[in-house]
Amino acid sequence: MDVFLQIFFDGLVMGAFYSLIALGYTMVYGIIKLLNFAHGDFYMLGAFIGYALLSFITGDGGLNAGLLGIGAVFIITMIIVGLAGIGVERIAYRPLLTAPRLSILITAIGVSLSLEYASMIGWGASYKVYPIKLSKNGLEIIGAQISFAQIGLIVLSALLMLGLRLFIEKTIYGKAMRAIALDQSACSLMGINVYRIISLTFFIGAFLAAGAGIMSGVYYGTINFMMGFIIGLKAFTAAVLGGIGNITGAMIGGLVLGLVESYGTYYLGGSWKDVLAFGILILFLVFKPTGILGAKEMERM
């Protein structure tokens, strides 16, 4: 029982990261039907910019940054990466919004390569050790250890997702986003600035992914310029799992995938973890492309 619960907590943390990244995929997809391959790299960018800022405020001597400092770093990093998201959209995607699908997909791959290798040039190819480490203290629940750090990360992720939900449901921008997802041309006729809302969507997506990036840096302790690649695919899997374009779906999909992987790793061994995720992705795309929460699509032959 204790092992079972332990794996559950680990899976939950992983799943929270997946959810945060999956949200960006799903929102961008929902609004412009673009599969942003580069999305995982915002997570990486978040981890690195957070790393740079934290190293700066903690200094080389490892001064204690204090909770306030760390909080500030979090927010600043997320905003910077959010702006990077807007930049990417403006430079690379906007000129291609009406181009054939193949063009924009290839562009997305180009963006992904650019972000990854620009980071490699900037920060080096080797693993970087994060300047702050979380304490291992925690609670024991029916024999399983859950650290305060884990609880903190899960709560923080939950808060971010809750914030997003409120934003989308309660604000005028959120409403515009949902409207554009339904009918873009009608929205521009209604006087909604469609481009501004698309920018906003990229901002939020990158913002959340960056949050996950710093959290994972803090949690796992090391970061690397390729860290966004696989996790981007996993998050995409999560988005598909939950029904792409569906916000709640992305959250649930992330958690489900995190848990499945966590248990899968325990029972099958770590080397098959990625095969498990891709297997799930392929099965879903083939048999239920609309995901767990997706609507039924018209049957075509």
Partner 1 sequence: MSILTVKNLKLQFGGLLAVNDLSFTVEKNTISSIIGPNGAGKTSVFNMITGFYRPTSGEIELDGTSLINNKPSQITKLGMARTFQNLRLFPNLSALDNVKSGMHCRTKEAVWGALFHTKSQKEEERLIEEVAQECIDFVGVRKYMKRSAKNLPYGAQRYLEIARALATKPKILLLDEPAAGLNFEEKQYLIQLIRRIRDEFNITVLMIEHDMGLIKEISENITVIDYGCKIAEGTPDEVLKNEKVIEAYLGKEDVI
Partner 2 sequence: MKKYKKHSLLLLVIVMFILPLLLDIYWLDVLTLVLFYVVLTQGLNIVVGYTGLLDLGYAAFFAVGAYTTAILMTTFHWSFWLTLPVAALFAAVAGIIVGTPTLRLRSDYLAIVTLGFGEIVRILAINLDITGSSSGIYGIPRPTIGSYVLSSQQDFYYLILIVAIISVLVVYRLGHSRIGRAWVYIREDEDAAEAMGINRIRLKLLSYATGAVIGSLAGSIFAVKMSAIAPLSFSFLQSVMILLAVVLGGLGSIPGVVIGAALVIVLPEVLRGAEDWRYLIFGVALVIMMIFRPQGILPKKYETEDRSDLDEKEETNDKDHSMSV
Residue 159 contact among partner 1, partner 2, none, beta carbon within 5 to 8 Å by kind: none
Indicate whether 185 belongs to the interface with partner 2 (CB under 8 A). no
The two three-digit tokens of residue 221, written as one number = 């302790």
Q: Of the two residues 150 and 246, which places its CB atom closer to partner 1 in the complex?
A: 246
Q: Of the two residues 1 and 301, which places its CB atom closer to partner 1 in the complex?
A: 301
Options 278, 288, 290, 293; binder of partner 2; rule CB under 8 A: 278
Indicate whether 142 belongs to the interface with partner 2 (CB under 8 A). no
Spatial CB neighbours of 231, under 8 Å, sequence gap ≥ 6: 17, 18, 21, 40, 43
CA triplet 278, 235, 252: central angle to 5 degrees?
105
**Which of these, 147, 142, 145, lies nearest to 1 by C-alpha position?**
142
Q: Of the two residues 41 and 157, which places its CB atom closer to partner 2 in the complex?
A: 41
**Main-chain dihedrals φ then ψ at residue 130, nearest 5 degrees:** -70, 140
**Positive/negative CA dihedral, 119, 261, 215, 127:** negative
**Which of these, 89, 94, 49, 102, lies nearest to 72 by C-alpha position?**
49
Residue 296 contact among partner 1, partner 2, none, beta carbon within 5 to 8 Å by kind: partner 1
Binding-site ranges for partner 1 (CB under 8 A): 296, 298-301
Indicate whether 75 belongs to the interface with partner 2 (CB under 8 A). no
Residue 274 contact among partner 2, partner 1, none, beta carbon within 5 to 8 Å by kind: partner 2
The two three-digit tokens of residue 290, written as one number = 């609309």
Q: Of the two residues 136 and 300, which places its CB atom closer to partner 1 in the complex?
A: 300
Q: Of the two residues 137 and 185, which places its CB atom closer to partner 1 in the complex?
A: 185
**Which of these, 67, 52, 64, lies nearest to 213 by C-alpha position?**
52
Q: Which of residues 17-56 bind partner 2 (CB under 8 A)?
A: 34-35
Residue 99 contact among partner 1, partner 2, none, beta carbon within 5 to 8 Å by kind: partner 2
Only one of the segments 58-66, 100-108, 148-156, 181-189 lies at the binding site for partner 2 (rule: CB under 8 A); that segment is 100-108
Distance (Å, whole) CA 237 – CA 292: 12
Q: Of the two residues 100 and 269, which places its CB atom closer to partner 1 in the complex?
A: 100
Indicate whether 271 belongs to the interface with partner 2 (CB under 8 A). yes
CB-facing half-sphere around the CA of 16: CA atoms within 13 A: 25
Q: Of the two residues 61 and 100, which places its CB atom closer to partner 1 in the complex?
A: 100
Distance (Å, whole) CA 248 – CA 173: 18
Only one of the segments 143-151, 165-173, 232-240, 246-254 lies at the binding site for partner 2 (rule: CB under 8 A); that segment is 232-240
For the chain, the distance separating the N- and C-terminal CA atoms, rounded to the nearest angstrom, is: 48
Asked if 138 contacts 6 with a C-beta cutoff of 8 angstroms, the reply is no
Residue 166 contact among partner 2, partner 1, none, beta carbon within 5 to 8 Å by kind: none
Distance (Å, whole) CA 252 – CA 15: 9
Interface residues toward partner 2, by CB under 8 A: 34-35, 91-92, 95-96, 99-107, 109-118, 120-121, 229, 233, 236, 240, 271-272, 274-275, 278-279, 281-282, 285-286, 289, 300
